[in-house]
Structure 1
Amino acid sequence: MNECRNALVTYCIKVERTFKVDKSDQVKVNPFKHTCQESTLRKDTISRAKSRWVAEEVKKWVKENQQVGPKELQKNIKDKFKIDLPYMRLFNGRFKGQLVAACAVDAHSFVFPVAYGVLETESEESWTWFLHNLRRAIAHPNGLVIHTDACKGLEVAVDNVFPGVEHRECMRHLAANFMKKFKGKVYTDNLWLASLTCSVKKHNYHLRQLYMNPKVKEYLETHHSKLWARSQFSEVSKVDYVHNNLAESFNSTIRKLKGHYVVDLLDRIRIEYMQKFHYRAGIAEAKFMGHIIIPAVMNELKQKTTGLEMNMTLCSGTTAEISYLDKEKREWRYPVDLEARTCSRRQW
């Protein structure tokens, strides 16, 4: 079946046709050439050239030169088929695997890679294997948060290997999918605000605006059941990211290494982060020793508190009520307890 599909893709790319496979596994080819704009044609062509097709097409070049890298293969594909495929499409086709990683955030908001490896493919079985090894390394500590991208099989694997964990999903992916289905000012004005606010009251306010369309509630509960709003996050973990940019940061760090063979790649990533940890340890020893709160965090707190117009009503030496008016002149009030380290706004 794969050989047939790859051959069909090659044919359609060469003659600029499209095809689809219906539920009965019958192939239907559009007999007419594209008359759409060049950008649309290019997008359709690239989407058809998936990693499995790339793997088949580059096989001959890899056999002839086992040292050939993704960049050269990218050029060969462009010369032969007149299409410019993304680098990662060539990387995945070249090595027939997926580089995956579990990353955390340290006290300085630096990326802290916990585990990484190569999967045969993104599937529930492969992710389960990776997560079982991750659990062997970190166990299942109280307050553990796992934040995932929209990867095939990953959500199910997380729930199976880490039952009961606080499972968040990437707001950037959620918003992209949401905006394809629901368009209008009420959605653009309220969706991201519902995610970013730490206040349960404000979150519910924005949800009410979204839920004026009953289909929105049904869609979010059906397709995005993981946590995506800060007001729903537990207060044990102090990382309040609603996106999964840690993965992008990790990819950016190792991008220059991705042309290597798998074994060399994994070893070079290890060396890269050994050097980073040594460098960071030097910074900590030189600048952070003796500080209860590191200088970078203090600077961020000062920036966030500069120019705040809030009223404080003291209840005791450690408790108070904070109130302020938002841009729409609505008053918000938040009880704060310094000793218990609680605030009803939840942005502690």
Structure 2
Amino acid sequence: MRYNPGSYVNIDYDASSQQFRRFFVSFAACISGFNSCRPLLFLDGTFFKGKYKGQLLAATAKDGNNGLFPVAFAIVDSETTANWSWFLHELGKVVDGNRQITFISDRNLGLLEAMPKVFPSAHHGYCLQHLKSNLRDRMKGIDNGFRDHLVSSLGDCAYEPTVVGFHEKLAKLKEEGKQRAHDFFKDLAPEHWANSYFRGMRYGEMTSNAAESFNNWIKEARNLPITQMVDTIRTQLMRQMFARWLR
């Protein structure tokens, strides 16, 4: 905080035991830079790889050149509803509340429960790649070629621009996939994954690949103790922004 004025950091701990619980970080350059990015954030969590267990939650945007632009991250013990709710509450303190933000995620259960409570007016898009993977798992045991056809049909439904066309494609997919397909789509609201129903701005982003790329970008840092991990990520961010400034 001393050397990065304007940054926002919150260390959450148990007051009675003084035991560390959670750690949220958003650097000033990330906060101000996001105001010049599209109001689109990719959310995801990733495991630590060293002997210090836990998870890192992150909100990542894209810059004008379609490159990664990390906005905020947090250290937590696991991807629970409580931790996602806390992370989103903290995130709400660093993003402009007057902008209509669209979030894209892999549908983590804790995130699904926390999102409408913390960002009730935001739009939440589901990652198409994860949906395809979930459908592929649901269709285990059938011919691989036919299963690939059903997964491809899911993509056709998601990209379909008209409501009429969407329902025609979805009806055909359900008919071909039978009961398992009907069960898969039963609680999958189209306003979260189908272009014809989505009311937010996805800017053509149908997957949460940016979040996956961020996880890979900090792969080495995930082996470190918490304080070293945070400082390593800070250093990577500083180098990234300096390289962009030189361009």
| TM-score in same-fold range (> 0.5) | yes
User: Match of 1:108?
Assistant: 65
User: Could you tell me whether the CA contact under 8 Å between 2:55 and 2:79 is conserved in 1?
Assistant: yes
Post-superposition offset of 1:131:
0.7
Post-superposition offset of 1:96:
2.2
1:154 pairs, out of 83, 103, 111, with 111
Post-superposition offset of 1:202:
3.9
User: Could you tell me whether the CA contact under 8 Å between 1:132 and 1:161 is conserved in 2?
Assistant: yes
Greater RCO, 1 or 2 (C-alpha within 8 Å, sep 6+): 2
User: Match of 1:261?
Assistant: 225
User: Match of 1:275?
Assistant: 239
The question of 1:191 aligning with 2:154 is answered: yes
Alignment of 1:188-337 (within 5 A): 188-212=151-175, 213=178, 216-223=181-188, 227-234=192-199, 237=201, 239-283=203-247
User: Could you tell me whether the CA contact under 8 Å between 1:100 and 1:116 is conserved in 2?
Assistant: yes
Q: 1:89 to 1:97 in 2, by over 3 A?
A: closer
Aligned to 2:185, what secondary structure does the other structure show?
Answer: helix
1:255 and 1:109 map into 2 onto residues whose CA distance is 21
User: Match of 2:49?
Assistant: 91
Q: 1:238 to 1:158 in 2, by over 3 A?
A: closer
Equivalent residue letter for 2:155: W
TM-score (norm 2): 0.69
User: Match of 2:90?
Assistant: 133
Aligned to 1:267, what secondary structure does the other structure show?
Answer: helix
1:171 pairs, out of 121, 128, 136, with 128
User: Could you tell me whether the CA contact under 8 Å between 1:174 and 1:224 is conserved in 2?
Assistant: no
1:187 and 1:156 map into 2 onto residues whose CA distance is 29
Aligned to 1:173, what secondary structure does the other structure show?
Answer: helix
Q: How many residues align?
A: 194
Post-superposition offset of 1:222:
1.4
Post-superposition offset of 1:255:
1.1
CA RMSD, Structure 1 to Structure 2 (Å): 2.5
User: Match of 1:299?
Assistant: none
User: Could you tell me whether the CA contact under 8 Å between 2:57 and 2:75 is conserved in 1?
Assistant: yes
Q: 1:89 to 1:253 in 2, by over 3 A?
A: closer
1:144 and 1:118 map into 2 onto residues whose CA distance is 23
Q: Sequence identity of aligned pairs in percent? A: 26
Aligned to 1:168, what secondary structure does the other structure show?
Answer: strand
TM-score (norm 1): 0.50
Instruction: Structure 2: give runs of 5+ residues left out of the alignment.
Output: 1-45
Post-superposition offset of 1:135:
0.4
Aligned to 1:232, what secondary structure does the other structure show?
Answer: coil
Aligned to 1:167, what secondary structure does the other structure show?
Answer: strand
User: Could you tell me whether the CA contact under 8 Å between 2:191 and 2:198 is conserved in 1?
Assistant: no
Question: CA-to-partner distance for each residue in 1:260-309, whole Å, 9 max, x for gaps?
Answer: 211111111112112211211222xxxxxxxxxxxxxxxxxxxxxxxxxx
User: Could you tell me whether the CA contact under 8 Å between 1:196 and 1:230 is conserved in 2?
Assistant: yes
Aligned to 2:92, what secondary structure does the other structure show?
Answer: helix
2:187 and 2:97 map into 1 onto residues whose CA distance is 27
Post-superposition offset of 1:257:
2.0
Equivalent residue letter for 2:49: F
User: Could you tell me whether the CA contact under 8 Å between 1:124 and 1:156 is conserved in 2?
Assistant: yes
